[in-house]
Structure 1
């Protein structure tokens, strides 16, 4: 693809710098000169017979200066195009020709040819170009002598435009454009680093642009066994690698990158923009855009790579196999303040982690797309994500925002997951994984499959642990608007709210098949809607609910609060209040072997019956209070574990303390001191100690004098 004018300028400047540095290392040794000499190079106006000691007596070729320069010297290079086979030790048109960097020699490009101070140069205007087009036959339709794509490279170009190797720890290359290198050899190093090949180097590279270089690995730059390479203010545009690292490839190296842009690069295997293998990298301020590769469209980190990346954007990158923005394999990157936007891949539109444990802080995944894991996909990985935002991501199959499988026990902390969509698990899909979530909001996510579900979260044989989590406004076309638990899933929920979620079955939560046994403690279901089980729907499951509130949930058929089918939930100090259904069972509906056990439960204020048993439904309980009576109280009568036909006198749903909203007992409630055996949890839904008086209270909330309890509730 073509780059815009601004990028072309940057690329040209960078290339000049790189070419100058390369010649330093490859030139033959020369007599030692006094340190501090400055040499001048002018392609237009210089001469092979000049001394190179002033602009008026400048060398014509960069290789001339590299031949005579020693440690402590500088080389100033004026605007123009410089080829590594000109003016040096290499035969004309030689593919082995390269500009080699040497210790202590600094090469600066971007001069007009009159400057007396380094600060006077303008390398974005005075383009100093180092070109690998040694046979001078590349396509140059725009006349700028910069290859804008690898299609512009014709014939036999130099393997490496610039080379830095050995102990080049004080070499500097600054202000050039590096273009048209072609490292297409069959063996090392002729297949690495078309623009720059760095081997065991610690050179300093600044203000460079790499445009349309080609290699087997590291189209723009390849770093191999480099102990401390440094690159500042560099653009990598439209470079290509047959295998790894279209823009940049690192192997067993340490690199510091600052203020870099990688755009339009491509790799045939991994890391369209950048590929890192068994390396240690520090990056500050980076842009990755429009890069392509099968794995890691923008970046791939492999084989124990340790990456610290702060401040950057990954946008519009594509991977044909996995990791549109980033692919991590057996690596531990730390990523902070990054945005992943509009990246695409079949697996992990934004990022794909395989056997990796990254740490993500203050990152945003927005509008990425995949089949699995629109924002993020984890396979046998344990990322830690804190202060993250997943928004508007899409998966055509599973995991709109996040997809976890095969033991991917992700830790998600203080994050928001909203407006994501998938066939199953609009917010998150877990398969054989047990993630840990704390202080997370799932908002307005959607699962649109007619047979699956989980608008907020889908768990397949998975047991996530959730604390202080909200599911609000999520939707499933089939089941589990907030959460869907399938085939032996046993999630643990503490201080969780399900509000305003919708589905055909289980507006707030659906537990289906395989004896799912979720454990819910201090949880509220409010304002959820479904055809069956507005708050919760259970099928062949045995959830355990302790200190849970169902308030204002609705079912267009059965079970406004909860519906049980072939299920045996245990409800312990649970409150059902003001739930509704069009068919029987506004509060609780049981059928076909639905056998709930109600211990210290309140069922009241329901539309179409507080508790209704359909065919095959049976209820057992103790110290349970039902406002209705007869068939609307599951046929219970006074004295057999139930008190029926009595108003429990509850207050409105409110923030009475704790994380979730509750219905407080009014001071004259018959539920106060009614659990005569004191078989109750140690605390109520707010975290208040039970019992407050002689005996425990029925329902999710223990009665407390408002004046006495106010301070402890605030403290909690």
Structure 2
């Protein structure tokens, strides 16, 4: 019973202590003992000194000046409330706006209130000092509410040593404080002009609904924190004046864990070329949360708004955690930096930025990096940089690279998802994103997923949208539209790394009237060889309406430009399951895909429609850049004999592509081709121009160059060369389907072009137009007849509907070929003359007829592919051409809806596109064959992405059966086109 009574007594005494109210009113005329408003203390310093721990001081509106040579001082738990008019009976009645309660350090009251005058401020004191002598954790909390703390000042002549004598012009605290509805203004100090919290006893302090304006810090931050943890700012406003250049930003932290900024605004600070982080500067600080806050009209030397940097190897054993700093639902507007990181600078700290916007920021005004965000690591710790659902709009690096983001990604995993980059500009490289890794970093990787890049620009440099250098990277489910640069919207390469571009769209890049693209309006790949060659895979992507118009020495690649390299490991570039439509290379530029120098190109299951170039190769151009040297002071050029790349084409479609010079679809120079199961329809060279309506194979004058080429099971239909008539040294054009040319000054004993053909279908409307032709070397005056060795080896099974070239005899290695100039094409193909008004090109699927000479007409052998154009298995004797007649009935296939496979088809019915979404991890790729209700195949394609699009816009309205070939099994799905 005694223990219970004692406990009750302790609780009552504690309640009485905390409930004690002391009244302060500078205008009171009573007993000056603080017991009531009438008898209120008139001197705040005396009131504080006389108050017992736990007391609440209610302070009436007015001005309360510090003693002559000292600050107000608190060393115990007190609560100071301002905003009273002297009549209130509850603290909730206080109104700081109507009754401003000012705690001032201006002893003489002579500050002019506008421009700081060091002479007038010589008398100024710190306003308030709070001290807790506990060792680690504060033993009490001081509450400040409804006050204005102003005109505080401490010595400004800091050079080195402890910051304590030079910290906290308005408030200096070594204790926990809860600060709300407090205005800090016109305070000055080298460290923390408005407030300074130092030592762990100041941890867990809070600032809510605080206004900080017009304070001046000579070195670090208006609000300064050193060796404290768990600090929060909520619902607060920070502002300065852009007319005055200051030496410190708003908040500065050193040696802290746990900083929260939520619902705050930061504006109007001019940090010139001194401040780092106009809003926030942190050092040796982790666990930062910045949320629901706005940053505007700020400038600094580095990091216009945020400068978050830890020393090298800070807490070196910490695990990688992208949430060391989290920025969520924030806006950054009109922020700029003199050098790096227009809005934010991150050094040796992982971070996540989400649901935010960066607009009209400027970085690198005097030569730096990152118009909105800059990040770097300087040690061996592994970091993570994540950005999600964030917009970067009209940010600029006027002096260098990375219009929106520049990350040095050595030892960093970068993930950028669901974000939009629009109208960002870099004077140098990378209009939106620059990620630079390291050739020695073989662990980390970067990912850009589900992002939009629209209208970004990179001066005269590389990568209008994104540049990924020395960094293993994946770009997926993203779109690149109307971007502009000299070289590439997306740049990848270097360091012996793997780069993947998956399920992404490149549309109308370089199409604007002021565009300057010279190479790679979609992708520019600068690949390196060496001991580890780069590899690039472009999978399930669409390139449409991209334009290269720059008239440089080397111009081309309206969709993709690849610059290769020599070395022990030749770099590789693979394009698969992708489409190229209406891309254009003008002003003598070449091809939708251009590859130079020592890179092998694979094109698998991809479509090329109506691409054009004013130079060589409407769809693909591969060549070598000549080397230059001198012999006896005489300049000469030559080609490296071991730098002869190969183009591999499988199951791909080339329709209505056009070249201005030669190679309507494909132009090869000092390169070889291995093409199988592919279709070429209606590809052309400009009238009066060169050879190779479908393909031209130009040999090499490199000594000892032997070029082995293979065309196996392909279909060529009505491709046309330029029809040029040979005059004098100008050779006539040849080879409507395929042309061969060997440059002069070659040695027939060491230079050779070999073409091996098997099971190809060569069809022309005009029987006198040869399909394969040899272009004479009449243009080389010094060697008008020297060709090197040219051989066409036939393994049989080739079908020609037109005459063969007399000057290019075939060597029949095995099998037989068929030449029939009287064949009726309608007996061979479903719709050879494009009578279907909804079709964009002839339908060369095979007519199922016993008289169709292509069915079972091919020869067998090791070179014959096991599957056809549609990825269907060839059974028995192969059919001639790319397409194997499929007699399998779709009705026996299991409906996909009953298979248990996680494939989704929508919309169905559809107008133009069926989206096929693969949610099943067991399915890596699959083939879709489309047939009408009469069982006639009308199209098909292989897919390998998660989100896939089946284009049915060219089909008549009606119901269609889809046959799906998945993991060796056959399934069915029905769709309707409306």
Structure 2 counterpart of 1:392, from 408, 418, 423: 423
* Superposed CA offset, 1:210-233 (max 9, x none): 223233554321122223223222
Where does residue 314 of structure 1 map in the other structure?
Answer: 332
1:430 matches 2:457? no
Query: 8 Å contact 1:241–1:247 — kept in the other structure?
Result: no
CA drift of 1:681 comes to 9.0
Separation (CA, whole Å) in 1 of partners of 2:456 and 2:131: 47
TM-score of the two chains, using structure 1 as the length reference: 0.81
Q: CA deviation at 1:153?
A: 8.4
CA contact (8 A) 1:232 1:260 kept: yes
**Alpha carbons of 1:32 and 1:643: their partners in 2 closer, same or farther (altered >3 Å)?**
closer
Of 237, 240, 243, which aligns to 1:238? 240
Aligned pairs (5 A) from 1:65-84: 65-83=47-65
Q: Is the 1:600–1:698 contact (alpha carbons within 8 Å) kept by the matching residues of 2?
A: yes
Q: SS of the counterpart of 2:266?
A: strand
Which one of the candidate residues 31, 34, 46 is aligned to 2:17? Answer: 34
Deviation of residue 33 (structure 1)? Answer: 7.6
SS at 1:383 equivalent:
strand
Report the Cα offset of residue 649 of structure 1: 6.4
Partner in structure 1 of residue 967 of structure 2: none
Equivalent position of 2:950 in the other structure: none
Check the 8 A contact 2:758/2:859 in 1, yes or no. Answer: no
Q: Tell which structure's C-alpha radius of gyration is larger.
A: 2
Would the aligned equivalents of 2:684 and 2:694 in 1 still touch at CA under 8 Å?
Answer: no
Contact 1:501–1:507, Cα closer than 8 Å, also in 2 = yes
Q: What does residue 507 of structure 1 align with? A: 558
The alignment partner of 1:597 has SS state of: strand
8 Å CA contact 1:237–1:247 kept in 2: the answer is no
Deviation at 1:359, TM superposition (A): 2.0
Equivalent residue of 1:331, what SS?
coil
Q: Call closer, same or farther: CA 1:241–1:233 in 2, change over 3 Å.
A: farther
Q: Is the 8 A contact 2:867 2:874 kept in 1?
A: no
- With over 3 angstroms needed to count, the CA separation of the structure-2 counterparts of 1:126 and 1:708, relative to structure 1, is same
RMSD of aligned alpha carbons = 3.8
1:251 Cα deviation after fit: 3.1
Q: Which residue of 2 aligns with 1:89?
A: none
Q: For 1:520, which of 546, 557, 575 is the aligned residue?
A: 575
CA contact (8 A) 1:444 1:474 kept: yes
Are residues 241 and 78 of structure 1, via their aligned partners in 2, closer, same or farther at CA, if it must alter by over 3 Å? farther
Point out where structure 2 has 5 or more consecutive residues left out of the alignment.
1-13, 168-190, 315-322, 378-382, 439-443, 511-515, 529-533, 550-555, 625-644, 686-691, 701-706, 721-733, 741-754, 765-824, 835-839, 884-925, 932-959, 965-970
State the partner residue of 1:607: 684
2:620·2:665 contact (CA, 8 Å) conserved in 1?
Answer: yes
Query: Any idea what the Cα deviations from partners look like across 1:615-645, whole Å, max 9, x if unmatched?
Result: 5377533222222376122238995464322
SS in 2 for 1:698: coil
Distance 2:58 2:308 in 1: 37
Tell me if the contact between 2:456 and 2:483 (Cα under 8 Å) persists in the aligned partners. Answer: yes
In the alignment, structure 1 segments of 5+ residues that lack a partner are 1-30, 87-91, 142-146, 653-660
For residues 644 and 258 of structure 1, the distance between their equivalents in structure 2, rounded to whole angstroms, comes to: 70
User: SS of the counterpart of 1:35?
Assistant: helix
Q: Which residue of 1 aligns with 2:89?
A: 116
Counterpart pick for 1:553 among 611, 614, 632? 611
Counterparts of 2:39 and 2:282, CA distance in 1: 44
Matches within 5 A, 1:168-567: 170-182=141-153, 184=156, 185-186=158-159, 187-189=162-164, 190-191=166-167, 192-199=191-198, 200=200, 201=202, 202-238=204-240, 245-265=249-269, 268-277=274-283, 278-303=285-310, 306-346=324-364, 347-355=369-377, 356-370=383-397, 371-380=400-409, 381-407=412-438, 409-423=445-459, 424-447=462-485, 449=486, 453-457=487-491, 459=493, 463-475=498-510, 476-488=516-528, 489-504=534-549, 505-514=556-565, 516-531=571-586, 532-540=589-597, 541-566=599-624, 567=645
Q: 1:643 aligns with which of 758, 761, 773?
A: 761
Tell me which residue corresponds to 1:5. Answer: none
Higher relative contact order (CA 8 A, sep 6+): 1
Over residues 282-307 of structure 1, what are the superposed CA-to-partner deviations in whole Å (9 max), with x where a residue is unaligned?
23311122222222110122226922
> In the aligned structure 2, how far is the partner of 1:404 from the partner of 1:312?
23
Number of the residue aligned with 1:16 = none
How far apart, CA to CA, are the structure 2 residues paired with 1:679 and 1:572?
13
Residues 339 and 561 (structure 1 numbering): CA distance in 2 closer, same or farther, change over 3 Å? same
Cα 1:613–1:226 change in 2 (3 A) is: same
CA separation in 1, counterparts of 2:576 and 2:214?
Answer: 59
Q: CA deviation at 1:683?
A: 9.2
8 Å Cα contact 1:650-1:665 kept in structure 2: yes
- How big is the shift at 1:55? 3.4
Q: Which secondary structure state, in structure 2, belongs to the residue aligned with residue 291 of structure 1?
A: strand
Rounded Cα–Cα distance in structure 2 between residues aligned with 1:557 and 1:308: 51
Mapped to 2, the partners of 1:241 and 1:328 lie a distance apart of 23
- Normalization by structure 2: what TM-score? 0.60
Aligned CA distance change for structure 1 residues 701 and 330 (closer, same or farther; 3 Å): same
User: For 1:510-556, what per-residue CA distance to the aligned partner results, in whole angstroms no more than 9, with x for missing partners?
Assistant: 11242552222211111111133342111113222221211121112
Change (3 A) 1:396 1:179: farther
1:582 equivalenced with 2:660 (yes/no):
yes
Pair 1:33–1:438, CA change in 2 (3 A): same
Partner-residue secondary structure (3-state), 2:503: strand
Asked if structure 2 preserves the Cα contact closer than 8 Å seen for 1:572 and 1:598, the reply is yes
2:632 alignment counterpart:
none
Question: Secondary structure of the equivalent of 1:321?
Answer: coil
Deviation of the 1:702 alpha carbon: 7.2
Cα gap change, 1:507/1:324 in structure 2, threshold over 3 Å: closer, same or farther? same
Offset at residue 47 of structure 1 (A): 6.6
Deviating more after overlay: 593-602 vs 152-161: 152-161
Contact kept in structure 1, 2:759 and 2:859, CA below 8 Å: no
SS in 2 for 1:519: strand
SS state at 1:271 partner: coil
After TM superposition, the structure 1 stretch with the greater mean CA deviation from structure 2, 216-225 or 470-479, is 216-225
Shift in alpha-carbon separation, 1:672–1:377, aligned structure 2, 3 A: farther
Structure 2 Cα separation of the partners of residues 314 and 51 of structure 1: 51
Distance 2:831 2:147 in 1: 76
Shift of residue 458 of structure 1?
5.3
Separation of aligned partners in 2, 1:480 and 1:216: 50
Give distance in 1, aligned partners of 2:562 and 2:652.
18
State which of 737, 751, 759 in structure 2 corresponds to 1:633: 737
Q: Take 1:689 and 1:135, find their aligned partners in 2: how far apart are those partners?
A: 91
Q: Distance in 1 between matches of 2:396 and 2:140?
A: 43
Query: 1:672, 1:703 within 8 Å by CA — same for their partners in 2?
Result: no
2:473 and 2:482 mapped to 1: Cα distance? 21
Q: Is residue 348–residue 374 contact of structure 1 (8 Å, CA) maintained in 2?
A: yes
Partner of 2:746: none
> How far did 1:714 drift?
8.8
Q: 1:459 to 1:663 in 2, by over 3 A?
A: farther
Within 1, Cα distance between the matches of 2:358 and 2:583?
Answer: 32
8 Å Cα contact 1:580-1:587 kept in structure 2:
yes
DSSP 3-state at the match of 2:652? strand
Q: Give the match's secondary structure for 2:253.
A: strand
Q: 8 Å contact 1:545–1:570 — kept in the other structure?
A: yes
Q: Distance in 1 between matches of 2:269 and 2:53?
A: 35
